[in-house]
């Protein structure tokens, strides 16, 4: 079984620039999550999709972050404009359904300078 695919692995941008991350979940997984993990901390949920609908985006900073999951498969997360405090690893995860075990991708390490 192929795992959760994410790209890019690393990204360095200057503050106020924009950036986008891509995620392809495990085939057949209806639920997709984007997490932000700051160094030394646990993952923080940004947004959860069930198929192509948003289940929870209460912790997504909507003034600068956006995410979509068109067609209920791949997803993109965008930051525009980036701030220094956005430096973190952005993890995508998927699960068969809500309440099922999560499978994480390798993440994208973002550095904002």
Partner 1 sequence: GENVEQHPSTLSVQEGDSAVIKCTYSDSASNYFPWYKQELGKRPQLIIDIRSNVGEKKDQRIAVTLNKTAKHFSLHITETQPEDSAVYFCAASGRDSNYQLIWGAGTKLIIKP
| Ranges within 49-88 binding partner 1 (CB under 8 A) | 55-56
DSSP letters for 38-56? -TTS--EEEEEEETTEEEE
Q: Is 29 in the site for partner 1 (CB under 8 A)?
A: no
As given in the structure block, the two tokens for residue 99 are: 């309440």
Q: Is 42 in the site for partner 1 (CB under 8 A)?
A: yes
As given in the structure block, the two tokens for residue 76 are: 């993109």
At its nearest, how many Å lie between partner 1 and the CB of residue 95?
A: 10
Q: Is 101 in the site for partner 1 (CB under 8 A)?
A: yes
Contact (CB, 8 A) for 89 and 106: no
The stretch among 11-19, 43-51, 61-69, 80-88 that binds partner 1 (CB under 8 A) is 43-51
């Amino acid at each position: 079984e192929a795992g959760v695919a994410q790209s890019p692995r690393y990204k360095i941008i200057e503050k106020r620039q924009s950036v986008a991350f891509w995620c392809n979940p495990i085939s057949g997984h209806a639920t997709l999550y984007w997490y932000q993990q700051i160094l030394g901390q646990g993952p923080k949920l940004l947004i959860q999709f069930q198929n192509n609908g948003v289940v929870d985006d209460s912790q997504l900073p909507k003034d600068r972050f956006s995410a979509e999951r068109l067609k209920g498969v791949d997803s993109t997360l965008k930051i525009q404009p980036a701030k220094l405090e956005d430096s973190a690893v952005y993890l995508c995860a998927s699960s068969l359904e809500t309440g099922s075990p999560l499978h994480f991708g390798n993440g994208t390490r973002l550095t904002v300078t």
